[in-house]
Structure 1
Amino acid sequence: MRSAHTVDQVRAAESELMARLPDGALMQRAAAGLAYAVLDLLGSAYGRRVLLLVGSGDNGGDALYAGALLARRGVQVEAWLLSERAHPGGVAALRAAGGRTIAGDPRRPDLVVDGIVGIGGQGGLRDDAVAALATVEGVPVVAVDTPSGVGVDTGELDGPHVTAALTVTFGTHKVAHLVDPAAAASGVVHLVDIGLELPPAPVESLQPEDVAALLPRPHGEVQKYQRGVVGVRAGSARYPGAALLSVAGASSGLCGMVRYVGDESVADRVRQAHPEVVGAGQVQAWVVGSGGGDHAGEELHAALADGVPVVVDADALAHVDGSLPVPAVLTPHAGELARMLGVERAAIEARPLEHARHAAATYRCVVLLKGRHTLVVTPEGLVRVTTTGTPWLATAGAGDVLGGLVGALLAGGLTPYDAASVGSWLHGAAATLASDGGPLVAGDVARSIPAAVRSLPRA
């Protein structure tokens, strides 16, 4: 599990560790990890130029001590001090190693190290930092801990900020590394272990081993009904493709049976495409809404009457006006969540974590907010972030496949939180396999779900 902790959690853990270590030892650990990451990115040391942008916080100290290590390896290091309160020990170490401190007019570097603002910074960058960054525009940036100017605990962007090619963070991931839009500004994130002992994290990201451990797998003499039966109420005469794609996601083999209930003309097409799918009967979970049109509300009402868990998607989301009587997963994209909460779409995209948590608490169910980094949120505010996938996954019908997949996992016995987060992870992994670096359509994603499962480590 990739865990992302809050600033307060990290600071408490650092304070506890520093009480047991010699003065400055923790910063030296961080600086060494940063320096080696910079060297790896540069590819060589002698003759390369690195510019440190240094503020007044501990991140500036990390950058300065890393700069001293780089200078001793033959890198030409300049430190642009943006504050008179730059870490004095770090400044002395850099100068002793042959590095230079400047107050502007840097030589064009091969790489910039962002040590402007620490994890406790608030709001966007000050004008002097913005001006300094403008002088090295186009040069790759390595951020220390988090890109300066981002909302570390929120993942939000509130003003000018650093956009990093690489972020080197210490002890644990921070929320900004996983949650967009700040995650997109973090680039590749490299974690340096500095020995922190941390409590459970409020934000997590499943890894392949976690998915393998959670995934329902058949054992022994299990029968198809014991593996779960999922029902799909999706599509309409106007949108038959939604039914086909929802069923495709549901019938990827992760539960024992799929039932389709809907317009008879659509049902005929479903049976032709998926002869293993059967009609009405008892189910352990429902998937409702994709392409349902004017009948989506009726279909949601019928599904809720069965008293089993339900995935509410697309057109059915418009008919959710309060907490539901059964365990549920709501699967909106930003526009749908904006309508549900009565805000602008831009507000959802600027603060997805805040709004997904608000929706989960309001509707008392799991909310799966689709996006580049999909968020799965419980009513209590726990979060899993999906980082699998590819930009090619932004294609019509992909969400229909996802809804069916999550429904199959619900029917297979997973909780709504696990079904949504495992389903989202597999959906992204299947898309990456199907894409192989090129374009895809939603049906390709459904067909690649078994391959994504086979790629998992054995639990």
Structure 2
Amino acid sequence: MRTAYSVDTVRTAERELMARLPEGTLMQRAAAGLAAACADVLGRVYGSRVVLLVGSGDNGGDALYAGARLARRGAGVTAVLLAPDRTHPGGLAALRRAGGTVAAPEAGGALIDRADLVLDGIVGIGGKGGLRPDAAPLAERAARSRAAVVAVDLPSGVEADTGEVRGAAVRADLTVTFGTHKPGLLIDPARENAGSVRLVDIGLELPDEPDLEALQHADVARLLPVPSAESDKYRRGVVGIAAGSARYPGAAVLAVSGALRGGAGAVRYVGPAADGVIARFPETLVSDHGPAKAGRVQAWVVGPGVGDDAATVAEVLAAEVPVLVDADGLRLADLDAVRARTAPTLMTPHAGEAAALLGVAREEVESARLESVRELAARYGATVLLKGSTTLVADAPGGRTGVRVNATGTSWLATAGSGDVLSGLAGSLLAAGLTALDAGSVAAYLHGLAGRYASDGAPAGAHDVAESLPEAWRDTRG
């Protein structure tokens, strides 16, 4: 599992480690890893041209010491000093001893244009509010240049704890981060600025509970439900799907398609799209008596394409089993009823729906995704899956304090009905016995992989994503 920790936690761990090590050891470990990563990017270090964008403090020091290592290997290294009076003295001296040179900011543009690699050491993990006016043009010049851009610990101008980008920021091809990932490296919009991320172990001892987690294949494989020899459809779980309407019958079909591939033993469907569901999936158990009389279920999915059927949404929310609320269900739900539920609730909004639930503009949710998902979970007493290019899952109050992030998807998943497939899949995992946090996290992971397989670089429909779920499942378990 990939984990990320806040700036305060990282700094505490760094202080504790530095107290046990000779002075400067930690910075040298970071610089060694950084220089090795830069050498890998360059391929041939000798004769290459490297420009360091150096701010004040330790981030600039890391860049200078790494630059000194590259200079000793024959690179031509020039440091552009953005804060000459506050440049790390030891790093600057090391660079000069190795044959590196120094330039003023006004010369930085021409140097960047000729560089093979630009190393961003402008601002460290404590930076707030975007780049200063003297640094922003250099970051923009680097982004337009042919040089590879490598960020030190975090792209300068993005916010480490939140993933927000509140002004001009470096856009890196590679970010070399030290000790642990920072949340901003995993959450959009900042994740887009980070490029590929390489973690350098510098020996930090960190708490067991991270601020952010990202599941990987092995984690998902451990969570996937696998039937035993004694399993039947009820032991595996039965998921109820209350979805679709005369206007949106396809939402029901797509939600059922996701649910059938989610590990539960059976799917019950309730709604006006029964004929379409049975025609496509004859194994579905169909009822026309409403959710309360549909028969035994271990979890419900309500909302995809239900239109204005508030009564069905209310009936499902009254059930004493886990409930996933999506799409129209988020708009129609009595939110006091959501808060009053004692069984687990998983809400799955996209940014627009989250904005409506929070009473803010969509742009606020998109720019502050981590804060938004935490606020939704706290406000509604539910586990919340916030859909997007990086999907975030925040547990209900009283659960895990960290948030999970998923980035397995593809931009081709931005297609009508894709979210209906995800809802059915997550609901099936709920019925199979996973917690709301695990069901949402695993569903997002598999759904993202399935989107990749379905599209393979070309447009794909939601039904293609559903049909690729078994391949994603097998790949994860393999």
Q: Deviations over 1:153-199 (max 9, x none)?
A: 11111111111111100010001011111111111111111111101
Give the distance between the partners of 1:148 and 1:410, measured in 2 at CA. 40
TM-score by length of 2: 0.93
Q: Does 1:132 align with 2:156?
A: no
Q: Deviations over 1:267-303 (max 9, x none)?
A: 01101100111123110000000000011x2111121
Partner residue in 2 for 1:334: 351
Give the distance between the partners of 1:364 and 1:240, measured in 2 at CA. 31
Give the distance between the partners of 1:367 and 1:253, measured in 2 at CA. 19
Describe how 1:237-276 pairs up with structure 2 within 5 A.
237-263=246-272, 266-276=273-283
Partner residue in 1 for 2:389: 372
- SS of residue paired to 2:313: helix
TM-aligned CA deviation for residue 253 of structure 1 = 4.9
Give the distance between the partners of 1:216 and 1:79, measured in 2 at CA. 54
Partner residue in 1 for 2:408: 388
Percent of aligned pairs with the same residue? 60
TM-aligned CA deviation for residue 220 of structure 1 = 2.2
Q: Does 1:357 align with 2:374?
A: yes
TM-score by length of 1: 0.97
TM-aligned CA deviation for residue 135 of structure 1 = 4.2
Q: Is the 8 A contact 2:48 2:116 kept in 1?
A: yes
Q: Does 1:175 align with 2:173?
A: no
- Of 253-262 and 318-327, more deviation after overlay is shown by 318-327
Letter matched to residue 130 of structure 2: G
The 3 A distance-change label for structure 1 pair 149 and 340 is same
Give the distance between the partners of 1:175 and 1:224, measured in 2 at CA. 40
Describe how 1:141-152 pairs up with structure 2 within 5 A.
141-152=149-160
TM-aligned CA deviation for residue 305 of structure 1 = 2.9
Q: Does 1:410 align with 2:430?
A: yes
Q: Is the 8 A contact 2:6 2:182 kept in 1?
A: yes
- SS of residue paired to 1:455: helix
Q: Does 1:314 align with 2:323?
A: no
From 307, 313, 320, give the equivalent of 1:293.
307
From 354, 363, 378, give the equivalent of 1:346.
363
Letter matched to residue 175 of structure 1: P
TM-aligned CA deviation for residue 324 of structure 1 = 4.3
- SS of residue paired to 1:173: coil
Figure out how many residues of one structure are paired with residues of the other and give that number: 455
Q: Deviations over 1:397-439 (max 9, x none)?
A: 0000000000000000001111001111111011111122222
TM-aligned CA deviation for residue 39 of structure 1 = 1.2
TM-aligned CA deviation for residue 133 of structure 1 = 2.6
- SS of residue paired to 1:293: coil
Which 5+ residue runs of structure 1 have no aligned equivalent? none
Q: Deviations over 1:344-383 (max 9, x none)?
A: 1111111111111111100000011100000101134421
What's the C-alpha RMSD, in Å, of the aligned pairs?
1.2
- SS of residue paired to 1:179: coil
Give the distance between the partners of 1:135 and 1:410, measured in 2 at CA. 49
Runs of 4+ in 1 over 4 A off after TM superposition: none
Give the distance between the partners of 1:115 and 1:101, measured in 2 at CA. 14
Q: Deviations over 1:139-158 (max 9, x none)?
A: 33211001111111111111
Give the distance between the partners of 1:402 and 1:428, measured in 2 at CA. 9
- SS of residue paired to 2:3: strand
Q: Does 1:25 align with 2:34?
A: no
- Of 279-288 and 242-251, more deviation after overlay is shown by 279-288
- SS of residue paired to 1:161: coil
Q: Does 1:228 align with 2:237?
A: yes
Q: Deviations over 1:91-140 (max 9, x none)?
A: 11111111111113142211211000111122111111113334444133
